[in-house]
């Protein structure tokens, strides 16, 4: 990834620009907490875990339930419905019943703003 001024980043593999949208400020997502934001009609959960902010789609890959009510710990979030856990960094499903990953989004911290690539 090559960083450019403004809210764009160039993907060096595809040579396409990603647009980062400000969705919250850092103080709105304290360590250990989650916050749901909406970007272009898509619900995204911001997760402050392991000293990082992650962004994942608020949608479980198993039966399309929302993830924001689930437990979050040590870099993973659990679905509150059937208990599948997902790695926040990659979206990978860690245990059944989910087998497919959840969608993740790139996060950029600009000053005190949290920006998500859409």
Q: What is the largest CA-CA distance in the chain?
A: 43
The reply on whether position 77 binds ligand FES by CB under 6 A is no
Measure the CA dihedral 112/30/106/85, to 10°: 180
* Smallest gap from residue 98 Cβ to ligand FES (A): 5
Least distance CB 24 / ligand FES (angstroms): 24
Answer for which of 9, 54, 62, 88 binds ligand FES (CB under 6 A) is 62
Distance CA 98, CA 106 (A): 22
How many Cβ atoms sit within 10 Å of the Cβ of residue 103? 13
- 8 A C-beta contact, residue 60 and residue 98: yes
- Of 53, 79, 114, 116, which lies in the binding site for ligand FES, with binding defined by CB under 6 A? 79
Q: Which residues pair with 22 in a beta bridge?
A: 115
Among 17, 26, 81, 118, binds ligand FES (CB under 6 A): 81
What is the C-alpha separation between 39 and 105, in angstroms, rounded? 11
Q: Is 102 in the site for ligand FES (CB under 6 A)?
A: no
Instruction: Decide: is 63 part of the binding site for ligand FES (CB under 6 A).
Output: yes
Binding site for ligand FES (CB under 6 A): 60, 62-63, 65, 79, 81-82, 84, 97-98
């Amino acid at each position: 990834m090559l960083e450019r001024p403004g809210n764009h980043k160039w993907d060096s593999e595809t040579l396409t620009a990603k647009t980062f949208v400000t969705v919250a400020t850092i103080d709105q997502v304290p360590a250990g907490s989650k916050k749901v934001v909406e970007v272009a009609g898509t619900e995204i959960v911001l997760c402050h875990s392991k000293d990082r902010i992650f962004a994942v789609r608020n949608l479980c890959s198993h039966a399309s339930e929302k993830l924001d009510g689930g437990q979050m710990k040590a870099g993973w979030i659990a679905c509150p419905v059937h208990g599948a856990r997902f790695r926040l960094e990659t979206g990978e499903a860690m245990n059944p019943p989910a087998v497919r990953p959840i969608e993740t989004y790139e996060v950029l911290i600009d000053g005190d703003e949290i920006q998500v690539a859409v």
